Structure 1
């Protein structure tokens, strides 16, 4: 019975993934406009950020839309298919849970932020 349920949800994910990605592409907002100097400052500030994600995760899509809305250049790391990123997420953040934003400060300290709502609120506060 467990195998049937697991198979059902895998099939469901397989069927829904293209629709979720298409929906993301069609509904992603345009970036806010900034002066080139201000955008360069923000691009420099985002070099210490990385988003660990699964491509079709609805919460990751929510964060990617906020990143696009704010016009941020944040490195995206696939924790689903890349074993190195998956291991880094487990070691650094303590759990393989996405989305997770890795924030490195000037001293090299790392902070791992989970939860899409918290990530979006932090991004809006810092770069909005």
Structure 2
């Protein structure tokens, strides 16, 4: 505890999401392999973006209206043009495409929410 009085202690200083800097770094590494396919005016997409922001997750946003390549990839690889869609690259190199805003938010909450650090 005294160490934090004398400077930045990566083990004790907390982010808004309640993570230490070290835990936030682990979360950032995990979410660096994620991408959210969305478009700005979609209410369901906004719900997911709000969860991402609240949990302080570094997830790439791929707008399907602003970039036709994003829409093409979503259709070709994800199998559907429906948004929001969370593209997840797993540690084993496999990919998952998670659709439905409620399912995406639940997944993010369970994996990176209160008390969890992205393991």
TM-score under structure 2 length normalisation: 0.80
1:118 and 1:86, CA in 2 relative to 1: closer, same or farther beyond 3 A?
A: same
Task: Give 4+ residue runs of structure 1 displaced > 2 Å after superposition.
Answer: none
Q: Of 79, 86, 97, which residue of structure 1 is paired with 2:71?
A: 86
**1: CA distance, partners of 2:28 / 2:36:** 15
**2: CA distance, partners of 1:88 / 1:80:** 13
Q: CA RMSD in A?
A: 1.3
Shift in Å, 1:31:
4.3
Unpaired runs of 5+ residues, structure 1, are 1-29
Instruction: Give the structure with the higher percent helix.
Output: 1
TM-score under structure 1 length normalisation: 0.74
**2: CA distance, partners of 1:112 / 1:80:** 19
Q: Of 65, 87, 90, which residue of structure 2 is paired with 1:105?
A: 90
Number of residues paired by the alignment? 99
Match of 2:48 in 1: 63
Q: Of 94, 98, 106, which residue of structure 2 is paired with 1:121?
A: 106
State the secondary structure of the residue aligned to 1:111: strand
